Each structure stands twice: as C-alpha cells, then as structure tokens.
Amino acid sequence: MSTASPRIALVTGAARGIGLGIAERLARDGAHVVITDVIPEVEASAKALSAKGHSVTAIIGDVADEAWCVETVARVQRELGALDILVNNAGISPKKDGRKILIRDTDLDSWNKVFAVNITGAFLLCREATPAMQEKGWGRVVNISSQSARTRADIAGSAYAASKSAMIGFSRVLASEVGRSGVTVNCIAPGRIESPMQAVAGAEATREYVSRIPVGRIGVAADIAATVAFLTSDEAGFITGATLDVTGGFFMG
C-alpha cells in the first residue's frame, strides 16, 4: 500500500479473530486502521497493535445501532479524514450446545438480532462511508459473507446463512451504484477459520470438516487478511461485485 498519505481503514468486529487479523494486515501495509467492536477488548487489541508500531485506533460500539454508525463514520472523517477502506466483518452466529439452532427453535428476536448485526450494520456503514469515497474518486469496501451463503450450512443456523446471503446481494447492488466513482465493493466468503466463533462448534466438528477439505486444514485469519489486502489495493480496481470463496476448496462454485 503506497500512497502519499496513509489510507484510512475501518474494520468492524476487530477485537479478535478474523477482524483483528485483517486490521493488523492493513496496518502493516501502511494504513491507519480504526477497529471497532461491541466488546471492550477492542481497546486492548488496538494498544497491542500500536505497540508493534502500527497506527491503530479503537472505538467501542454496536454496528446494529444506527446512531452509532452515523457518528462513528462522522468521527473518523473529523479526526482522520474520509475513509478509504471499509471492511464489514462484524457478525454473530448463535448456537445451542455448540450446534446450529434449528428453524423450528429460532425465535424472532434472535433472528432479528442476527440480521441487525450481520447485514443492517454493513448497510448503515456503507451508506455513511461511500459518499465521501465517491467524492474523492477512490474507495474499497469489503464485506465478509460466509461459506454458508454459498452452499449448505452444516454448522451455521438459518438466520446466519440468510444474513450472509443478503450480504452478497446487497454488495452487488452497491457495487453497481458506486463503481463509476472509483469505488469497488466485494465480498469474501470464508470457510471454517480458526476463531472464537468457530471454536464454539467444537473439535469434532473441525476434524470432520478437515476430512472433507482439499487443502487438509482449516483456515486462519491471515488467509482472509491477505484476501482483504488484495481487494483493497490499487491492483484490484477492476474487481467489483464479486464474491471470493476462501474455503480451502471445500466449496468450488
């Protein structure tokens, strides 16, 4: 990432796991990264990255809160400048005893909460951030979808799979609206990745998954971070509206 001044990036759900890995990669490549999460741990994560010499700022908040999304983008613009990169990574996937919750057992409040975090939050932040990207003629949006949106969901529940499918459709529409302004919008659909979220399903689920994956391992945060780094680079300017499957070959679509 070589620009006259550091690019400004916002990564949600970045206190740990995939989001933290993405944030560290972007920071290592020279961006000033704002990391957000609903859990206070995000502040310690920012301090740890800053201690490595990276330029990282933390903001605590819930992407499902419209007022917070509006103020967060406005705050970044006031303090750092217009966003260049937005990575919508925040997501939740409710489980029951480590297993997906069946549709017949899913209550409406739980369904709505998953959609509020997994897709509505992305919509709100994109709505607030992309106009400034369009004005300056350059921007990169990467929305984290899921393998569960691409094929049968064995571990994720219906709300998670449906919300991640919605992410792909939303991203395609946004890509078509902002593309002529130099802004690209793409999705990444990760397979099983080492993270606090996947750990809930347990070791047996991981072993069974590995037995069916061509590369013979589950993914790590760095696999997703490297994909984000490419999609947010100048070299990826001709890619938009796409969904990149990062699954080790588990899904080949």
Instruction: Select which of 160, 170, 209, 250 is catalytic.
Output: 160
Active site residue 160: yes
Other beta carbons within 10 angstroms of residue 171's beta carbon come to 24
Task: Please provide the DSSP assignment of the chain as one string.
Answer: ---SSPPEEEESS-SSHHHHHHHHHHHHTT-EEEEEESSTHHHHHHHHHHHTT--EEEEE--TT-HHHHHHHHHHHHHHT-S-SEEEE------EETTEEPPGGG--HHHHHHHHIIIIIHHHHHHHHHHHHHHHHT-EEEEEE--GGGTS--SSS-HHHHHHHHHHHHHHHHHHHHHGGGTEEEEEEEE-SBSSHHHHTT-HHHHHHHHTT-TTSS-B-HHHHHHHHHHHTSGGGTT--S-EEEESTTS---
Q: State the catalytic residues.
A: 160
